[in-house]
Structure 1
């Protein structure tokens, strides 16, 4: 049984380690801090919790510990557009509906413990990437931060939950020969136009799927990125990912000619979209990925995702002498550093050339 000494509860774990917590009582309200590893930390949490609780009670704001996670989440969504982009809100909502609601939705806020959230992260890491689980952590933390900031709860349980550290996954763009093999193998498929546009423009797949014929200036030879297509439960057109993502991409006369021919073949279908299914509807990104996976298997290449067209586009351009600033603008990056870090990948030949250069200099 925990013992209380000088207002601090303490208990001994089976491992022999000690844990401490405090109880706060203010105007009939009782709160407990989470178990922590030191007396000083427990007292610090007690002071912070008591201060927040008094402030909430003085303001007359109800403390929503009796509310469920689902209930406060719906309130959070109403104010989210004030500080979050539509892209971020949709991604967060998808994460919540598919991964967090099944575990925490019906639960009362006051019953959530840091340990069980940490356990869920461990379980999810067995089937999801660390980057995705980190996104789940961000989602839940945003919700509880909102509640604390608005004095609806006095303690954010995420404070003691460790965020999964995303792995530094190395990007492997295709060589020009591999890219040519993929495009050649997909020529007979309707998805060829998607892969082709990714290869020649470096556009994100969502931007390609949201592209309309009205966005292409044939006489000027430009493609304007004005929207992106998001397909979750519904097909929704959203503004580009960032301010810099709204951009104009120049294409060659040869590519303009191809697009003109393709438009004639498509006819009046597609509701103005450049890339459409046989049913003249917008594509789901997951379906595009499935087709690319099949193509990669046919040509004997490892599947690296649809975003690899973007990686390859930037890498091949810079490897062939393109100005990095121009490539950065073409991709819609705000900083050249982003382009260099994410999309420029020296291969073995580059490294050998550098070694030979060193030999000549020194």
Structure 2
């Protein structure tokens, strides 16, 4: 049954990385069940993922993850500033300028912000198992690398200060009706003070992309790839980028980095050739 389920994922055209992630999770679950003596045999032991050989054409057509060029990012943030709903500009400014995950952003509390040293500490992520706002969980990041402290720009610090002043006024007005657990991004219409849900960020981004006439297929995770590409363009080393993003090994990040740096190398070669031609 387990093997059939893996084959079924292949028939549904899920990507290799998605199927591998599901298979890894399945193995973890059944191994734990074996350890707890809930089952006698691990059904994932000899299971395998079916991989079809790709043609040269398919390999050539494969694209790296979609992200925004710097001019597009500037337009997106300007749109968020001019036409965004509550929190939008600050949310997307932080996601774009730090590369943090949306779950990490939603879980942020004021105590995570160091206004003096201009840092944001990532120590937890948001999880909502039942899709009910009041039943959220804050869980520790999955790896040691995910727990990190990010240096941020003064623009973000100033925007956070402004946001805190507004939020303090709301707390003062609502008093006991405000669920005050120190969250930075909170619901303001109902369930005041509870952290906003990830779906809200997804919907807000879709709206802003439409207003800015940008690629509608981009997601909030694309801002993480955007951050990677712009750091690479700014000549930041891959190791530093990985450290900032909070993972020790990620092929997608490497692919984005290599793509951008490869383009930069081509440009350097072209500039050299142009210089030599000008001397003839």
Q: If the length of structure 1 is used for normalisation, what is the TM-score?
A: 0.58
The yes-or-no answer on 1:178 pairing with 2:75 is no
Aligned with 2:126 (options 212, 220, 229): 229
Return the match for 1:274 from 184, 189, 194: 184
Aligned counterparts, 1:50-199, within 5 A: 112=1, 114=3, 116-123=4-11, 125-126=12-13, 128-145=14-31, 152-154=39-41, 156=43, 159=46, 161-165=47-51, 170-187=64-81, 188-190=84-86, 191-199=88-96
Unaligned runs of 5+ in 1: 1-111
Give the structure with the higher percent strand: 1
Alignment partner of 2:241 out of 309, 312, 327: 327
Task: Count matched residues.
Answer: 246
Q: Which has the greater radius of gyration? A: 1
Q: Which has the higher contact order (CA 8 A, sep 6+)?
A: 2
1:283-340 deviations in whole A, cap 9, x for unaligned?
Answer: 2212311221121122111132101111111221221233444333222233698853
The counterpart of 2:150, out of the listed 235, 243, 249, is 249
The one of 189, 198, 220 equivalent to 1:285 is: 198
Is the 1:134–1:165 Cα contact (8 Å) retained in structure 2?
A: no
Given that residues 64 and 252 in structure 2 are in contact (C-alpha distance below 8 angstroms), is that contact kept between their aligned partners in structure 1? no
Gaps of 5+ in 2: 55-61, 172-177
Which of 185, 203, 209 is 1:296 aligned to? 209
Following the alignment from structure 2 to structure 1, what is the Cα–Cα distance between the partners of residues 152 and 33?
A: 49
CA contact (8 A) 1:245 1:331 kept: yes
Cα distance, 1:169–1:205 mapped onto 2, change above 3 Å: farther
What displacement does 1:226 show? 1.3
